[in-house]
Amino acid sequence: MGLANWRVRSYNCQIKPIIAIIISILLLRAVLSPSTSFAWFQQRISSYGATPITEPNLRATVRNDKFLEVPQIVWGLNNQKIALARGLLTARFLNRTLLMPSLSASLFYKEVELLQPMQFDKIFDLEKFNSICDGFVQVGQYSKLLNKTDPFEMQKGSGRKWTKERDLEQLKEVTNDNKLHDLELVRIVGKNPFLWHDHWPVRDYAEIFGCLALINEIENDVVKVISKIREISIKAKKNTANTIPNPIVPYIAVHMRIEKDWMIHCKKWEQRTGMNQICSGKKEILDRVSHIMGINLPAVVYLAIADSLLEDDSVLKGWKTGLMPYEKKRLGVWEIYKKYPYLIQSAIDFEVCSRADIFVGNTFSTFSGLVVLSRTQRLLKLGFKDLCGNEDQLDVRFTSYAYNILGDKIGAPKLWMSDMADLSLQKISYGTNNISCDANMSIS
pLDDT value for 248 = 62
Instruction: Report percent pLDDT > 70 for the chain.
Output: 81
pLDDT value for 443 = 63
Instruction: Report whether 363 contacts 404 (CB < 8 A).
Output: yes
On the 0-12 / 13-18 / 19+ scale of CB atoms within 10 A, 402 is buried
pLDDT value for 240 = 67
pLDDT band of residue 291 (cuts 50, 70, 90) is very high
pLDDT value for 394 = 59
Rg (Cα) of the chain, in Å, rounded? 26
Distance (Å, rounded) from C-alpha 134 to C-alpha 39? 14
pLDDT value for 348 = 98
Q: What integer is the mean pLDDT of 390-403?
A: 78
pLDDT band of residue 282 (cuts 50, 70, 90) is very high
pLDDT value for 113 = 61
- For the cut 50, the answer to whether the pLDDT of residue 305 exceeds it is yes
- Choose the most confident range, by mean pLDDT, from 27-31, 37-41, 102-106, 221-225: 221-225
Instruction: Report whether 299 contacts 324 (CB < 8 A).
Output: yes
pLDDT value for 108 = 64
**How does pLDDT run across 212-252, given as a tens digit for each residue?**
999 999 999 999 999 999 999 998 888 565 555 555 678 99
pLDDT value for 435 = 96
The mean-pLDDT minimum among 186-195, 216-225, 325-334, 380-389 falls in 380-389
Q: What integer is the mean pLDDT of 175-201?
A: 93
pLDDT value for 312 = 85
Q: What integer is the mean pLDDT of 398-405?
A: 96
**Per DSSP, what are the bridge partners of residue 406?**
413
**How does pLDDT run across 336-350, given as a tens digit for each residue?**
999 999 999 999 999
pLDDT value for 3 = 34
**How does pLDDT run across 19-33, given as a tens digit for each residue?**
454 445 444 444 333
Higher pLDDT, 197 or 44: 197
pLDDT value for 53 = 38
pLDDT value for 16 = 47
pLDDT band of residue 327 (cuts 50, 70, 90) is very high
pLDDT value for 273 = 87
pLDDT value for 11 = 39
Question: Quick count: other Cβ atoms within 10 Å of Cβ 155?
Answer: 10
- For the cut 50, the answer to whether the pLDDT of residue 377 exceeds it is yes
Long-range pairs of 35-41 with CB within 8 A, sequence gap ≥ 24? none
- For the cut 90, the answer to whether the pLDDT of residue 400 exceeds it is yes
Q: Which of 361, 377, 378 is nearest to 431 (CA)?
A: 361
Q: What integer is the mean pLDDT of 40-49?
A: 35
Q: In what order do the strands lie in the sheet with 97-99?
A: 139-140, 97-99, 67-69, 185-189, 152-155
Distance (Å, rounded) from C-alpha 282 to C-alpha 123? 32
**How does pLDDT run across 112-143, given as a tens digit for each residue?**
566 789 999 999 999 999 999 999 999 999 99
- For the cut 80, the answer to whether the pLDDT of residue 202 exceeds it is yes
Higher pLDDT, 10 or 281: 281
pLDDT value for 444 = 52
Q: Which amino acid is at 320?
A: K
pLDDT value for 14 = 46
The region that residue 99 occupies, defined by phi over 0 for left and psi between -120 and 50 for alpha, beta otherwise, is beta
pTM: 0.84
The mean-pLDDT minimum among 38-47, 182-191, 356-365, 372-381 falls in 38-47
**How does pLDDT run across 406-426, given as a tens digit for each residue?**
998 889 999 999 999 999 999
- For the cut 80, the answer to whether the pLDDT of residue 294 exceeds it is yes
Q: What integer is the mean pLDDT of 274-288?
A: 93
Distance (Å, rounded) from C-alpha 2 to C-alpha 80? 73
pLDDT band of residue 9 (cuts 50, 70, 90) is very low
